[in-house]
Structure 1
Amino acid sequence: MTIGKLSGVLGMITFFVTMTAGTVSAHHSFTAEFDVNKPVKLTGKVTEMKFSNPHSWIYLDVEKDGKVVNWALETGAANALIRRGWKKTDLPAGTVLVVDGWQARNGSATANVSSVTFTDGKRLFAGSSNESAETK
């Protein structure tokens, strides 16, 4: 291999490592962010649903003590949700849900979702990062 080709290969490797390092380090584990000892059951209205990877997000207005708090609810990746029966059209703004999951360790209005239940009783698994926690 010539010096020019070797430099090109090393440059490509450096570029790849640089571009993927942020993505890899940005992903977190369930236990780093959420507490299995802080289960939550929230009832509220969807304000937004973002299908994305590596996690999708549901934003839910929940009334507590006369005040409305907008919760950020982390679910599985869009492709995982679709495999579990979700459709992008399932959660338009205003949809009332009961959400089961685990609150963020820092006590904020953020949770990792285990499942959502619609007013008609339909229940969908949300692809939680901590699938084993549901059995505890």
Structure 2
Amino acid sequence: MRNMHVAALAMMLGLASVPVAAHHSGSMFEPEKTVTMTGVVKEFQYTNPHSWLIVTVANDDGTTSTWGFEAEGPSTLLRAGIRKSDFSPGTEITITGRPMRDGRTAAYWVNAVRASDGKEFNPGAGFQVEGADKGSF
């Protein structure tokens, strides 16, 4: 009977994790291709579960486009050293991301360089946990 309870609990936990994995899927972004552009920060939505850096980019024909660059939430960004105040409206940046597969003006944020001081911001650095290789979990 105990084994049946353990098996039922394991199954319930497994089923509960499926929506979480689906929510964090990056399948809408190109896995290999990147785009790099220079623009001006319009807004930094520093929110859970995902943050968005909204950037106005000048097109070759003189018009502008608004691009959204997705990143993880504030706790992951903070671990990467990225604060909301780093990208106030009007901040000039060069940003690289993995574009949407369907061609919409959005991408997964890979790296950004602030024009005023050349500082680089890599949101992926927030996934690295210090001491993880030493069994500190």
Structures share fold, TM-score greater than 0.5: yes
CA distance in 2, matches of 1:46, 1:38: 23
Residue 73 to residue 98, structure 1, CA distance change in 2 (3 Å): same
**Corresponding pairs, count:** 110
Once residues 67 and 95 of structure 1 are traced to their aligned partners in structure 2, the CA distance between those partners, rounded to angstroms, is 19
Matches for 1:50-129 after TM superposition, within 5 Å: 50-64=45-59, 65-119=61-115, 120-127=117-124
Q: Percent identity?
A: 34
What is the TM-score of this pair, normalised by structure 1?
0.72
The whole-number CA distance in structure 1 between the counterparts of 2:35 and 2:101 is 12
Cα distance in 1 for partners of 2:56, 2:22 equals 27
Is 1:33 the equivalent of 2:28? yes
Instruction: Give distance in 2, aligned partners of 1:106 and 1:88.
Output: 29
Could you tell me how far 1:26 is from its partner in structure 2? 6.5
1:76-126 per-residue CA deviation (whole Å, 9 max, x = no partner) reads: 221111011112211110000111111001111000011110112100112
The structure richer in strand per residue is: 1
Instruction: Give RMSD over aligned pairs.
Output: 2.4
5+ residue gaps, structure 1, are: 1-19, 132-136
Where 1:81 maps in the other structure, the secondary structure is: helix
Could you give the per-residue CA deviations for residues 42-64 of structure 1, whole angstroms, max 9, x where no partner exists?
Answer: 11000000111221100000011
Q: Using the alignment, how far apart are the partners of 2:20 and 2:110 within structure 1?
A: 24
Answer yes or no: is the 8 Å Cα contact 1:115–1:125 preserved in 2: yes
